[in-house]
Structure 1
């Protein structure tokens, strides 16, 4: 029973095709249906080599402890986005605070001693020409004035270092980015140089892919490149083409810098890189101009004052950003159509019109 039904469907399909061909050859251009036609024209199309590109961070870092102490708080975890300068974690600061207080006191003492030494030096300098002060006393006052001034400078340097030690108890983000690893936990005691958190900058990433050696000339001529994922297209002219290869197959490494200000890219994801390798001439028609029933693929081509059903052979389809004209799906016609042929743009509507016209004639 199934075989009988399938045979009936095949017979119906063939009859429909023959009827469509007959009607197409019987109705003239002067038919009542307004016909929208297009002119087949050969156009240049670029062929692309699709390559897998992996997204990598350009800037990444691991922040380490610049002082010792116990961790009081960790403000960010793995996968968190962190703005530049944000406090990542806090370390106890009692020891550092005590060192700061001692440095401030030392500076105050040095400044007081310097004030006294400078005052004495000024007094001796005024009395020495009058013979009231011996040369030895004058030399001692001069030496004390210089050494006390140097002591103030040294105390100021120690104060700066003590302040930095206090600042090191709050570890800040060196750039805006995403945390990728946490090496310590709250409450742990850490020492100088111990890794704390790792991350990478998200505003600029790079896509890395490898080009086979036979396409090195096309790569050398490459000024910009398109990359895409399932949702978005990316274009960049910041291309770093390596002049050597470390790959076993001797392919050429290419790094493409990508702006990621909207955070649509993620480190580790894959993109498709489109490398232009050749330009060919081909005829493309809108998909609406193609009539397909069963194994028949045809268009309605004008011949004289009639539109005849003409069988065609199709190639690849182009959509979206691959098109040079608009966003409608275009189909490559390999045979059956020549430059300058007038083709009905909406083949399905035309077939329906022909069937309706034939039914009206029959009645």
Structure 2
């Protein structure tokens, strides 16, 4: 049947609203309790995302990764010249060796003086000097060790490592460029753990706290359920809504930060009428069903919501106990015959 013929028969049916109920399947209209879902826009973001910065100064001699590269945890992202840091470490190690030698000599002298002092062979002044010298050389060794540790860390900073496995999203430097402490080098995120961020209006926040669970629908049709939520304890002063972080299952494939999703949560229940979309007869903005009255079908106008999963919610025009034709176009075809 062409679209022109269908419109013609629909107009004919509207003019004559009664059709004989000749072996047409019907369905009884019933009001049933359904979950009232609140659906909000959400954005996917990575739980672990970071920008790696330089912790020492120098010139970049090697870039091992670029944007969109997958990086394992602990891998060397880039390398900075290390001659200055290496020389400083060698100097401090030499100072430490010298401090240790002086400390050994001072401790030995203190031990000898301590044995001779009770016998009167050593004056009190010499004993005090040996004691002070022993303590000073101990402190010198500690200070030298601290300088060596600091220089060792500075040398390690010349190789910038990945804090976690993930994907590089941005590079701020070029090979050969001189960097200084605090300068941003690379940004990235971990794909192992994602979350959805949404804004919940103030009127729904108490219901969400009582039943903290979200159904997240991704752009590819997947549906993920999560009860692991973080509801901010303060509202946005402009929108008066609360930000909610919805932690998604770990290692979920093909989740990308910045993509859109739909986040839904339950907001109580309500009574509603659901009919299969086949029972609906539509033309432009007009929606109707064939209501059975006795042995006849009467075309009855209804107001409906948007179809979902092969069913449509009837907002007005029917009541519980009514019977309507399951296939409205079959009734229309009977009318034509």
Q: CA deviation at 1:168?
A: 0.5
TM-score by length of 2: 0.75
Structure 2 residue aligned with 1:143: 132
Structure 1 residue aligned with 2:243: 255
Match of 1:112 among 101, 104, 108: 101
| Equivalent residues of 1:242, 1:253 under 8 A apart | no
Q: CA deviation at 1:105?
A: 2.2
Q: CA deviation at 1:138?
A: 2.0
Is 2:72 the counterpart of 1:72?
A: no
Is 2:121 the counterpart of 1:132?
A: yes
Match of 1:222 among 188, 208, 211: 208
CA distance in 2, matches of 1:145, 1:200: 53
CA distance in 2, matches of 1:286, 1:218: 30
Q: How does 1:78-97 map to 2 (within 5 A)?
A: 78-97=67-86
Is 2:110 the counterpart of 1:159?
A: no
Match of 1:332 among 290, 295, 313: 313
Say if 1:335 and 1:153 are closer, same or farther in 2 by CA, change over 3 A: closer
| Equivalent residues of 1:127, 1:133 under 8 A apart | yes
CA distance in 2, matches of 1:155, 1:335: 86
Say if 1:296 and 1:170 are closer, same or farther in 2 by CA, change over 3 A: closer
Structure 2 residue aligned with 1:182: 171
SS at match of 1:222: helix
Q: CA deviation at 1:119?
A: 1.8
CA distance in 2, matches of 1:185, 1:342: 74
Q: CA RMSD in A?
A: 4.1
Q: How does 1:318-329 map to 2 (within 5 A)?
A: 319=308, 329=310
Structure 2 residue aligned with 1:44: 33
Structure 2 residue aligned with 1:63: 52
CA distance in 2, matches of 1:182, 1:87: 14
Is 2:101 the counterpart of 1:103?
A: no
| Equivalent residues of 1:236, 1:256 under 8 A apart | no
Structure 2 residue aligned with 1:286: 276
- Structure 2: gaps of 5 or more residues: none
Is 2:257 the counterpart of 1:271?
A: no
Count of aligned positions: 320
TM-score by length of 1: 0.70
Q: CA deviation at 1:241?
A: 4.8
Structure 2 residue aligned with 1:32: none
Q: Deviations over 1:121-153 (max 9, x none)?
A: 212211221222232332222222111111111
CA distance in 2, matches of 1:293, 1:169: 71
